[in-house]
Amino acid sequence: MELTYSPAEQAFRTEVRDWIRENLPPALAAKVRGGKRLSKADYELWHARLQTRNWLAWHWPVEHGGPGWTPVQKHIFDEEMIAAGAPRIIPFGVNMLGPVLIEFGTEAQKARWLPRILDGSDWWCQGYSEPGAGSDLASLRTRAVRQGDHYVVNGQKTWTTLGHHANMMFCLARTDPDAKPQEGISFLLIDMASPGIEVRPIVTLDGEHEVNEVWLTDVKVPAKNLVGEENRGWTCAKYLLGFERTGIAGVAFSKAALSHLKRVARERRKDGRPLAENPFFAARMARLEIDLMAMDIFNLRMIAAAAQGKSPGPEASLLKIKGTEVRQEASDLIRRALGPYAMPFLPEALDEGWNGEPVGPDYANTAATQYFNLRKTSIYGGSNEIQKNIYAKLALDL
Amino acid sequence: MELTYSPAEQAFRTEVRDWIRENLPPALAAKVRGGKRLSKADYELWHARLQTRNWLAWHWPVEHGGPGWTPVQKHIFDEEMIAAGAPRIIPFGVNMLGPVLIEFGTEAQKARWLPRILDGSDWWCQGYSEPGAGSDLASLRTRAVRQGDHYVVNGQKTWTTLGHHANMMFCLARTDPDAKPQEGISFLLIDMASPGIEVRPIVTLDGEHEVNEVWLTDVKVPAKNLVGEENRGWTCAKYLLGFERTGIAGVAFSKAALSHLKRVARERRKDGRPLAENPFFAARMARLEIDLMAMDIFNLRMIAAAAQGKSPGPEASLLKIKGTEVRQEASDLIRRALGPYAMPFLPEALDEGWNGEPVGPDYANTAATQYFNLRKTSIYGGSNEIQKNIYAKLALDL
Amino acid sequence: MDFTLSEERRMLVETAQRFLRDRYDMPTRHKAAAAPDGFDRALWADMAELGLIGALVPPEAGGFGGAGEDVALVFEQVGRGLVVEPFLASGVLGLWPLVRAGETALVEQVMAGETIAAFAHGEPDGRYGLAEVSTRAAEGDGWRITGAKAVVLNGDAADVLIVSARVSGDADAEDGLGLFLVEAAGPGVTRRGYGTVDGARAAEIVFDEAPARPLGEPGRGFALIEETMGRGVLALAAEAVGLMEVCKDTTLDYLRTRKQFGRPLGAFQALQHRMVEMVLEIEQARSAVMLAAGTFEADRLTRERNLAAAKHLTGRVGRMVAEEAIQLHGGIAMTWEYPLPHYAKRLVMLDHLLGDTDHHLERFIRLGREDAA
Amino acid sequence: MDFTLSEERRMLVETAQRFLRDRYDMPTRHKAAAAPDGFDRALWADMAELGLIGALVPPEAGGFGGAGEDVALVFEQVGRGLVVEPFLASGVLGLWPLVRAGETALVEQVMAGETIAAFAHGEPDGRYGLAEVSTRAAEGDGWRITGAKAVVLNGDAADVLIVSARVSGDADAEDGLGLFLVEAAGPGVTRRGYGTVDGARAAEIVFDEAPARPLGEPGRGFALIEETMGRGVLALAAEAVGLMEVCKDTTLDYLRTRKQFGRPLGAFQALQHRMVEMVLEIEQARSAVMLAAGTFEADRLTRERNLAAAKHLTGRVGRMVAEEAIQLHGGIAMTWEYPLPHYAKRLVMLDHLLGDTDHHLERFIRLGREDAA
């Protein structure tokens, strides 16, 4: 057993860290760290920078232009990106559609779409979830009917993250209504400029707009935009679910949150002493830190297993559950630490270029909204309840 | 809203308290408080004392000799008994069989058995649970076959509390194997001296013997010992389950445990100060105390509703769950408070008349075994999981 | 032993319920919250007219209630309705010192909803401590106040401010405090109003030699501060129970009707058990509030200990209920247009007002030691 | 980054597993626990022969292991086997000070299982504090020890006692402590042995001018006490993981086979989810133990902080696993003849040895401050 990184891995970490320092604009990192709104241009800039180094499509196989990293390298890259305050890579094109096309796409599809993912020509969004379907993809109701050389699609998608930025959507639609629920689904690529598409914003409980509803009314989709076989779209969707998910536990996010929490608890005071010295608060922080230390090792155990060629098992479900719980707990403590100053909320302070005076400490404004926003992490990507069902069935044989 | 007791109720409390002080032998109270083993004679003595005051069968209707107490009086009586360290009333005859006979028994059955319950002639045990049946009474396998003027009973009962003291058992047995699971069951009274009955001790995880297995092989039971109609025994069993259960939350037990805990935490030391002043331990105790304060009111709300003639609703399930959790938590903290001195266990110290030197504080010996023993409270009497099922169905309509 | 309501109180509850049902739906509430004051003055006047503010004031001061039980009943309805009108700020925290100081005219105006009062007590460097007051009051040409107050609820819309200030002693000393009446629009008062996460409003207020009038004897104000905050704690704990009830009912409705994998969500045993645990904890929280309300007129230690217990427990249970209600709903509970998350947000944020669950646990422990001593 | 075992360590684990499977079933274990010594000396010698004690000792002291990883591996198996032989008392706490003091001959005898050593450190008025020592050592005609030690694990069967005693300083001071070797059957030593709740044995020991030989320099023994206790903490945390694994496997088997209402218990979703939560927490506990084992040779602060984290977490998770395993089984888990409750008892009682979950949380916090300073 060896818990430390090899010299080569440490050198890789240095390389990544140095490159980020040189390439990530400090103003952009400050926006990420301050919880400000990021524009489409912010993401596009960062994607393009990464692509200059060939680090955008780091999940892709070498033969399609991926850097060929080991699981440990991927983990290190992920940690460094988050620690540096880099914007996240928008996953829909590069991390989700890319691998599906590489596995199931025709040569023509690969030739057309993969380069456009890398050079930023397309902004993809994901059309999986539907109102009323929740975590139950098999009850999908969007219909696609083949008419000559195209499909006609009708239905409604929801929780479409950054769909208002997207010009393309990959989408699951039912092509055989008589088949069993999980069969008869197809995987389609849809131009968001097609007539009959309407994107409606969903304002979330924190007052922000990041997700959308997408309404499809008699939308024509060329048949050549079918990925994989007709009625076998479930295979593509499942492939993605089983795809190696580095960072599923969000350890790097939680580490960043913990170190922010420690700073807040040193600065805020309770009974005339730093809050960090209050025994109850210190206990809450210490329990969190211990949970996180353990989860870090748990995560590394999975990565080391992947590095030995083991495919990711149902333990990914456990990591997802614990990862979201720990991250939510960290945000809860940050909110708590602020005391009354968790109350004020100035939405205008999230805007780029806002130069007003904060109310209370400068980090207070987003503490509570961040706590509420993170409730989503245990709901999406397969809710924690679904993860428990999966693990009970696959790993515990119950 | 009025949270205090009426003058009449306060006078009743004084009356009960005074009577207990005069009638409960201090040596017996000391045994109860010290967690020592109680003999059959101890229980019989206390039953007889209570009966002199007409306070043994306090659940019974006035016309059958009950004292006619209000729900609040019953609650007060229960609190005072426990606070004084009185032995519990063994419930099988007086609290369980008695009401069933009063409701379903023939005049002959009432005339024969009720007086014998009151004067202590019979020690009853309960033959409900079976190996493999758990909380699922409907899957009962003990068979009773009618042959002329008697039944022949074969089967096995388990968790028979104090069955080794009993001379009589009331028992559920299947009389119609072809009926639906909950039908075809009959309620029989069985003489433990009958040929074919064997009582085998079950030693529990704390090393003690209180419960038993009862094996029945071709046991003859006179047909006149059938209570209620043949195949309708479920009705009797259900009647008892729905019977008013004062003290289901065990508030009085938890109050006694909390006050003991406070004493222990004042006496034991951590870092040179009383453990009660250690912030982590003080927080554990305070959370427990607050839970208990709330549960006390919750319990009184139910009693007040009963006093207004409302029949006990599914809230009894909630009280059972919280009551066992709080009581178990109190025992957990007492164990914790003792530190290393929770380890030693001298079984001989539980014997009557043991005069040895304790290891550590005199109350240490039973702290851990008590904690383990109380795990049973969330298992028996309808496990907490069953209570949740019941409440979800009956009260939440899920 | 009686947990039933008197006839008068039953009518009070029904009045509030009817008003909220008929006049205060979610769009109305959101609109009120988005108004410049953070609430609707006309609705506030109507609520006053119905006696909902007067119910918080004892008869001898011109109201027709004022007992702990009244406060709890009104605020449970405030919670159920997710009311943004200034019941806490003006109706309790601002009003009670005026009642105790015998400010008859002002009490009447506040009770009528015409004058808005706010309680300016917490300070930028403070954190829930009752005596954490650095703001100074000095007597010369009348009393004048200098200092800064933080997160003053409805401080921007207030007409009068009840300000805690120190006439002597170190920061944190209980001795040397006083309460003062300051005209909100008067000289030496600078206010910066803002919205809060849960849809209410508050203000940062700076006093620079602001003219003030003492309420009670300057220097001996701690008891009144504690008493006022205690009323506020009871109000918040009761509001929390009201919010929990709505969270529970909404979630139950959702579980009964929403289907997944071909069955209603409520048919899944894991969710059933979690709902039962939620209901059980709500009953515990409700019980703690009843205890605090029912002993609100008892001796100080009993009252303050039961208040601390209620605030601790509603804080602990409140977080659980809010998080579970969102989780059991799934995505829809993350949307602004659905009512539930607004209840959940308020329920969580109550823990940031007048002392959080840890603060009140510490207070409960400390009061227990005073009791034993 | 490598979580696999070396070939030697894999063999060590297999050796232990084979022995426990073939020679140490539950009746054997119960019989050993019921023996006068509280364990079986013949089995102990066999375990020594297999190298299971030697694996706890570094090569330079005559063993063939001794690293944190070795300790963790052996004790996970001790947990899985519910072993009552004195691995902790003699193999770690008693042996380590002898190793550090270069007591070659004694080390060999203890490693061979011929001599039983015990660590007499905790005192009747103490509670997990490393320096809570009032027992005195004084030099005159050789060193002599006077004082009382509490709950000395296997203290009744021990041949030699390693005793902590104070040569100077106040109770609680880290300075002035020393470790001493005392013949258990020698003059001035009075022992009272007894069984413990979890089937082990311990003793109260009184020293009255008992002749003693210093191990290391008297007065500067604190570091060795901390180091020895740290090894014990690692051992207990790893033992806890072994116990948890058995609790989990037994419960899973039960849920898969036992039927209720016509379905296996494991088909009920509420129980499934609780099992998943149990497994998740066990993986967390296991991870914390791996971290403590893998950094056991690091600098003091890293080592001690990770040990405190592991003991805290195994204590917290241990209680949950023990209680859930019993609850999910139902009645059968309350019976002596079923193996599970014996595992559950040991798992809970581990929290009473070498500092409980709260103690180590406080220690973790304190060490964190030292780290920041």
* ipTM (interface predicted TM): 0.97
Which CATH fold would you assign to the domain A123-231?
Answer: Butyryl-CoA Dehydrogenase, subunit A; domain 2 (2.40.110)
Q: Flag whether pLDDT at B136 surpasses 70.
A: no
Our CA-based measurement puts residue A233 at a distance from the nearest CA of chain B, in whole angstroms, of: 35
Rounded to the nearest angstrom, the minimum Cα separation between B279 and chain A is 7
Q: C235: closest CA among C49, C60, C96, C51?
A: C96
pLDDT 10s digits, B20-52: 999 999 999 999 988 889 999 999 999 999 999
**Cβ contact, residue pair C352, A159, below 8 Å:** no
Residue A53 Cα, gap to closest chain C Cα (Å): 37
Answer for the pair C205, C155: CB distance below 8 angstroms, yes or no: yes
Interface test with C, best of A205, A206, A324 (most C CBs within 10 A): A205
Confidence category of residue D303, pLDDT binned at 50, 70, 90:
very high
Kindly report which listed range (A121-135, C349-363, D298-312) carries the lowest average pLDDT score: A121-135
pLDDT grade, residue D338 (50/70/90)? very high
Task: Answer for the pair A206, A335: CB distance below 8 angstroms, yes or no.
Answer: no
Give me the pLDDT at residue D16, please.
Answer: 97
Q: How confident is the prediction for chain A on average, in pLDDT?
A: 93
Cα(A339)–Cα(A349) distance, rounded to whole angstroms?
A: 20
Taken in order B159, B163, B164, B169, the sign of the CA dihedral is negative
pLDDT value of position B134? 60
- A110–C contact, CB cutoff 8 A: no
Domain segments of chain D as ranges: 7-115, 119-219, 223-372
- Would you name the residues of A annotated as active-site residues? 244
Q: Which residue of C has its CA nearest to D276?
A: C270
pLDDT of residue B161 exceeding 60, the answer is yes
- D7-115 and D119-219 in the same fold: no
Q: What pLDDT, on a 0 to 100 scale, did the predictor assign at position B97?
A: 95
For helices A279-307 and D300-329, the axis angle rounded to 10 degrees is: 90
pLDDT in the model for residue B94: 93
Taking residues D20-39, what's their average pLDDT? 97
Please report residues of A whose CB lies closer than 8 A to that of C194. Answer: 344-346, 359
Of B286, B294, B387, the CB nearest to C364: B286
Q: Is the pLDDT of residue B242 over 80?
A: no
Chain C residues with beta carbon closer than 8 angstroms to that of B300? 1, 3
pLDDT (tens digit, 9 = 90+) per residue, A272-309? 999 999 999 999 999 999 999 999 999 999 999 888 88
| DSSP assignment of C255-282 | HHH-EETTEEGGG-HHHHHHHHHHHHHH
Nearest residue in chain C measured CA to CA from D270:
C270
**CB atoms < 10 A from the CB of C206, how many?**
16
B244 pLDDT more than 70: no
Residues of D with Cβ-Cβ distance to B139 under 8 angstroms: 260-262
Q: Is B244 a catalytic residue?
A: yes
Mean pLDDT of B264-279: 96
Q: Which residues of A touch D279 (CB under 8 A)?
A: 318, 391, 395-396
Nearest by Cα to D127 from B340, C369, A199, C319 = B340
Cα three-residue angle D277-D278-D283, rounded to 5 degrees? 95
Strands (E), chain D: 117-120, 136-140, 142-153, 160-166, 177-183, 189-195, 201-219, 259-260, 263-264
Q: Is the pLDDT of residue B238 over 90?
A: no
A76: closest chain D residue by CA: D1
**Count H helices, E strands: chain B?**
13, 10
Taking the Cβ of residue A384 and every Cβ of chain C, the question of whether any pair is shorter than 8 Å is answered with yes
Rounded-to-integer distance, Cα A5 and Cα A13, Å: 10
Residue A134 pLDDT greater than 80, yes or no: no
* B44, B244, B267, B325: the active-site residue: B244
Quote the pLDDT of residue B237: 84
Average pLDDT over residues B312-332: 93
CATH topology of domain A250-394: Butyryl-CoA Dehydrogenase, subunit A; domain 3 (1.20.140)
The span from the CA of A202 to the CA of A168, in Å, is: 19
C-beta of residue C1 within 8 angstroms of C-beta of residue B4: yes
Residues of B in contact with D333 (CB under 8 A): 205, 375
On whether the CB atoms of residues C90 and C110 are closer than 8 A, the answer is: yes
* Minimum distance, in Å, between the CA of residue C354 and any CA atom of chain A: 8
How confident is the model at residue B374, as a pLDDT?
A: 96
Counted across chains B and C, CB pairs separated by less than 8 A come out at: 118
pLDDT recorded at residue C2: 86
| CATH architecture of the domain with residue range C223-372 | Up-down Bundle (1.20)
pLDDT band at B380 (very low <50, low <70, confident <90, very high): confident
Q: How many CB atoms lie within 10 A of CB A62?
A: 9
Q: What is the pLDDT of residue B183?
A: 86
Model confidence at A245: pLDDT above 80:
no
> Has domain C119-219 been given CATH number 2.130.10.10?
no
pLDDT (0 to 100) of residue D47: 98
CB contact under 8 A, D341 and B205: yes
Q: In CATH, which superfamily holds the domain spanning C7-115?
A: Acyl-CoA dehydrogenase/oxidase, N-terminal domain (1.10.540.10)
B270 inside 8 A of chain D by CB: yes
C interface residues, B as partner, C-beta within 8 Å? 1-5, 69, 252, 255-256, 264, 266-267, 269, 271-273, 275-277, 279-280, 283-285, 287-288, 290-291, 293-295, 306, 309, 312-313, 361, 364-365, 368
pLDDT digits (tens, 9 = 90+) for D160-211: 999 999 999 998 899 999 999 999 999 999 999 999 999 999 999 999 999 9
Task: List all chains that touch chain D, counting a touch as 3 or more CB pairs closer than 8 Å.
Answer: A, B, C
Chain C nearest C-alpha distance from D70 (Å) = 41
pLDDT tens by residue, A299-313: 999 999 888 888 778
pLDDT of residue D319: 98
Enumerate neighbours of B (3 or more CB pairs within 8 A).
A, C, D
Interchain CB distance below 8 Å, C336 and A129: no
Range from A153-167, B121-135, D252-266 carrying the lowest mean pLDDT: B121-135
Say whether D327 and B359 touch across the interface (CB within 8 A): no
D281 to chain A: nearest residue by CA?
Answer: A322
Q: Chain D closest CA to A59's CA: distance in Å?
A: 21
Taking the CA of residue C255 and the nearest CA in chain D, the distance in Å comes to: 16
Are A16 and A77 in contact by the 8 Å Cβ rule? The answer is: yes
| Of residues B203, B281, B360, nearest to D335 (C-beta) | B203
A12 touches D: beta carbon within 8 Å: no
CB–CB of C151/A340 below 8 Å? yes
CB C337 within 8 A of CB C189: no
Residue of D nearest to B130 (CA): D331
Confidence of residue A155 (pLDDT cuts 50, 70, 90): very high
Long-range own/partner contacts, residues B109-118 (CB < 8 A, 24 or more apart): B109/B189, B109/B224, B109/B227, B110/B64, B113/B189, B114/B64, B114/B65, B117/B57, B117/B93, B118/B51, B118/B56, B118/B57, B118/B65, B118/B94
- CA of A127, closest CA in chain D: separation in Å? 29
- Enumerate the β-bridge partners of residue A204: C335
Pairing of strands A168-174, A124-127: parallel
For chain A, strand residue ranges (E) read 124-127, 143-147, 150-157, 168-174, 185-191, 197-203, 209-222, 226-227, 269-270, 273-274
Q: Which residues of B touch A280 (CB under 8 A)?
A: 279, 283
On chain C, the residues whose CB falls within 8 A of the CB of B9 are 1
Q: Which of A322, A318, A316, A334 is nearest to A371 (CA)?
A: A334
Q: Chains that contact C by 3+ CB pairs under 8 Å?
A: A, B, D
What is the per-residue pLDDT across A43-74, written as a single tens digit (0 to 9) for each? 999 999 999 999 999 989 999 989 999 989 99
- The answer to whether residue B312 scores a pLDDT higher than 90 is no
- Residue whose C-alpha is closest to residue D246's, from D199, D282, D292, D206: D282
What rounded mean pLDDT belongs to chain B?
93
Determine whether the interchain pair A3/D290 forms a contact, defined as Cβ–Cβ distance below 8 Å: yes
pLDDT tens digits in sequence order for chain C, 373 residues long? 789 999 999 999 999 999 999 999 999 999 999 999 999 999 999 999 999 999 999 999 999 999 999 999 999 999 999 999 999 999 999 999 999 999 999 999 999 999 999 999 999 999 999 999 999 999 998 999 999 999 999 999 999 999 999 999 998 899 999 999 999 999 999 999 999 999 999 999 999 999 999 999 999 999 999 999 999 999 999 999 999 999 999 999 999 999 888 899 999 999 999 999 999 999 999 999 999 999 999 999 999 999 999 999 999 999 999 999 999 999 999 999 999 999 999 999 999 999 999 999 999 999 999 877 7
Do the Cβ atoms of D273 and C268 come within 8 Å? no
Any C CB within 8 A of B283 CB: yes
Tell me the residues of chain B between 297 and 336 that have a Cβ less than 8 Å away from chain C. Answer: 297-298, 300-301, 303-305, 307-308, 315, 317-318, 321-322
Q: Which residues of A touch C349 (CB under 8 A)?
A: 342-343, 368
* B379 token code pair: 């298992």
What would the mean pLDDT of A94-116 be, rounded to a whole number?
A: 95
Q: Which two tokens stand for residue A267?
A: 């600065």
CB-CB neighbours of D18 under 10 Å: 11
pLDDT for residue A246: 60
Look at residue B352 in the predicted model and tell me its pLDDT. Answer: 80
From D4, D276, D291, residue closest to A293, measured CB to CB:
D291
Q: What is the pLDDT of residue A374?
A: 96
Q: CA–CA separation, D325 vs D248, rounded Å? A: 7
